[in-house]
Amino acid sequence: MPRWDAEAAVVGLGAWGAAALWRLAVRGVDVLGFERRTPGHALGSSHGGPHMFRLACAEHPGLVPLAVRSRELWTELDGARGDRVFQPCGGLSIGPEAGPVAGGALRAAHAHGLKVRTFTANALRMQYPRHTGVPGHHTGVWDPGAGLVHAERAVRSMVAQARDAGARLYPDTRVLQAEVVTGGVHLRTPQRLVKVRHLVVAAGSWLPAALSGLPLATVRAPFTRFRPIEPDGSFDLEVFPAFRRELDDARVLWGSGEEGGYGVRLGLEDLRLTPKPLDPEDTDRSVTPDDWQDVARLLPAKVPGLQSPPSRITVSTRTRTPDGLPLLGAVGDDTRILLATGAGSHGPAHAPGAGEAVADLVRGERPGTAVEFLSPGRFG
């Protein structure tokens, strides 16, 4: 009979890995956490500033229960540590009523009975005058439960909570190999062999290189900050809240107002194009004009009143799946190894709910929120 070092190990302590470690530890599971750098480092998907959190998840109605539970756990985390990880501010989704952004938010809200408010294009311009050029056939959906998640702060806070609950941490430790054995998994690090019954792989941007059998890609994700031309408060977060805005050419402009004196945060998604691939092993995050010029060109017509070029640019990474949804679950029927990695903006925002689902699966329980639609098996 082999001697196990722990019941479970989590490899990768970004947002989802830190959440899994936290929820496993508070459930009394003997768990180890491995991170190749220091938790909260600047090279993963949690870097770049706050991430928008939404209850009315446009990408898939199944994400709503995960978001609801995540918001409860963000509140619990903030109450326990006072770190102000979650910042309520509400959020806007703007676009055609049948489109993926505003339409998707409405469909999610209707499916789960969320209370949202809708605006006509004219009413939207009146309520949020910094959003200009909104076509008459677009609508606005106000999600009062939305907000911002301060991801790097959240990672550090969840790891600290996990440690306080008994998790054993191994920062600056790279896992070189994982081997499935009878009854568990063997992990090899440069220092030792570690034997656990369950392995949670939450390697984020490093996952595509580790799992060649899944259609994953690691891509660049630039985040830009623009300062207002006039410091009149019209871009403060209270009056220019977090938003996602579908443009007529199908691109999505997203952002949030000023908080902390760092400027207005803006970004641009174009799902028709393949983002630039990024090797997570390359620590060079140099900024190029391609990282911000497309956003800057939109400012005069869509969000006037901001200075260009941007005042601050950071380059993060993102794991991209073909359908834009995260991965959560076992590969096949073997629950000794579970994958847990966010995709797009879901990663930091929905991490606590995902971490709790991981804890359920490790304990052999049915997750409290349905996550079958996120199974890696959906890609065959």
pLDDT more than 70, % of the chain? 98
Q: What is the tens place of the pLDDT at every residue in 310-350?
A: 999 988 888 888 888 999 999 878 889 999 998 765 678 89
For the chain, the domain total comes to 2
Report the CATH number at residue 175: 3.50.50.60
Same domain, 36 and 164: yes
Cis preceding-peptide flag for 309 (omega within 30 of 0): yes
**Residue 78, domain member (yes or no):** no
Give the model's confidence band at 1: pLDDT under 50 very low, under 70 low, under 90 confident, else very high. very low
Last residue of a domain, one of 317, 344, 370: 317
Same domain, 228 and 155: no
Last residue of a domain, one of 267, 287, 317: 317
**Residue 310, domain member (yes or no):** yes
Tell me whether residue 58 is exposed, middle or buried, using C-beta atoms within 10 angstroms of its C-beta: 0 to 12, 13 to 18, 19 or more. buried
Same domain, 195 and 333: yes
Same domain, 352 and 291: no
In 5-129, beta strands by DSSP E: 6-11, 31-34, 50-53, 86-88, 91-96, 117-120
Same domain, 129 and 196: no
Q: What is the tens place of the pLDDT at every residue in 284-306?
A: 788 889 889 999 999 999 999 99
- Give the lowest-confidence range in 6-15, 24-33, 259-268: 259-268
Same domain, 226 and 275: yes
Q: What is the tens place of the pLDDT at every residue in 132-141?
A: 999 999 999 9
Same domain, 244 and 309: yes
Question: Does residue 374 carry a pLDDT above 60?
Answer: yes
Same domain, 134 and 187: no
Same domain, 220 and 259: yes
Domain span at residue 338 reads 6-47+151-215+324-379
Last residue of a domain, one of 317, 335, 353: 317
Same domain, 136 and 237: yes
CA quadruple 39, 45, 48, 49: dihedral, nearest 10 = -70
Q: Please enumerate in sequence order all residues whose Cβ is within 8 A of that of 161, keeping only pairs 6 or more positions apart, or say none.
A: 22, 25, 26, 77, 80, 81
**SS3 call for 73:** helix
Under 8 Å between Cβ of 137 and 120: no
Report the CATH number at residue 141: 3.30.9.10
Q: What is the tens place of the pLDDT at every residue in 99-112?
A: 999 999 999 999 99
- DSSP structural state of residue 305: S
**Residue 342, domain member (yes or no):** yes
- Mean model confidence pLDDT for the chain: 92
In residues, how long is the chain?
380
Strands 147-150 and 50-53: antiparallel
Q: What is the tens place of the pLDDT at every residue in 175-198?
A: 999 999 999 999 999 999 999 999
Same domain, 207 and 239: no
Strand-pair partners of 200: 10, 338
Same domain, 297 and 224: yes
